[in-house]
Amino acid sequence: MDILACVPGCLEEFWRSLQPAFDSCRVDAVSDELRGKGALVASKTMEFSNHLRWFPGNGFGREDSRQIRYITEAFYSVEPVFTVLSAIALQWVGGKTPSITTAGEACAGSGTRPWFHGRIAFADSYYGPDVGYYGNDNHPLYRAFAMWPVYMTKIAADLAQTPFTNEYKRAIAEVDAKAEELAGQIPIPARERNYAIEHPRLIDCLNQCLIRSSEVVVLTCALRRMFIRAENIARRKHLSVHC
């Protein structure tokens, strides 16, 4: 939503148009559906190693583990809402054009890597004179994980493994496509101004925001699934020792 806020009047009109869908809980409903889609594709395509077992040998204490687990759970819960909002905003301002790179196109080429892979150091956001928001590399999830640079490196290393990387790309593309499909189910009045014409880079920025948000959905779903499995394994071992 930072992107729309950089265009005078755009965010205000967007929220006014979207208010009925929020009041009817329609946005929450489709966000829940997108979360389910993310969990499904992550379970079918991605398998992280046991990070709970990795933590102790790499200087992570119990509190570190709890905080990382909490961050994962929080973004697993809230990010699908922002993904849906990004897709709605993208369609509302004018939709995609053939010149705009979709998530599938962005992830299809062998030379193109998902956003997280290789992005360990994040530059500050740049607010320019046009749209005002170009390529924000500071997604809140990664800023939260930046408290543990070694752990960010661990995640990036896992994602870099073949065929993990290819499955990760496909999962992002599936979530992106699902978000656009669900966004199309939300009735929203047409905009009063043609913001895409007034600000030529607006659609491109919104599209990149959607791709990155889709990636966060996939990543948090995969991490959450791994943590739950690791916790269940640890619990069973504990019970077997004390029985």
Neighbour tally for 73: CB within 10 Å: 15
Read off the pTM.
0.80
Q: Which residues contact 136 (CB under 8 A, 6 or more apart)?
A: 2, 125, 209
CA 84 from centroid of its chain's CA atoms: 10
DSSP states along 74-104: HHHHHHHHHHHHHHHHHHHHT---TTSPPHH
Measuring CA to CA, how many Å separate 76 from each of 39, 71, 241? 9, 8, 33
Predicted confidence (pLDDT) at residue 9 exceeds the cutoff of 50:
yes
27, 18 Cβ separation under 8 angstroms: yes
Neighbour tally for 214: CB within 10 Å: 31
> What's the whole-number mean pLDDT along residues 97-117?
38
Q: Report the share of the chain in percent with pLDDT over 90.
A: 39
**pLDDT given for residue 218 in this prediction:** 92
Confidence band for 191, pLDDT divided at 50, 70 and 90: confident
Predicted confidence (pLDDT) at residue 65 exceeds the cutoff of 90:
yes
**pLDDT given for residue 112 in this prediction:** 39
Predicted confidence (pLDDT) at residue 104 exceeds the cutoff of 60:
no
Radius of gyration (Cα) for the chain, nearest Å?
Answer: 19
User: How much is the mean pLDDT over the chain?
Assistant: 78
Predicted confidence (pLDDT) at residue 30 exceeds the cutoff of 60:
yes
Q: Cα 141–144–146 angle (5° rounding)? A: 110
> What's the whole-number mean pLDDT along residues 199-221?
87
> What's the whole-number mean pLDDT along residues 178-198?
87
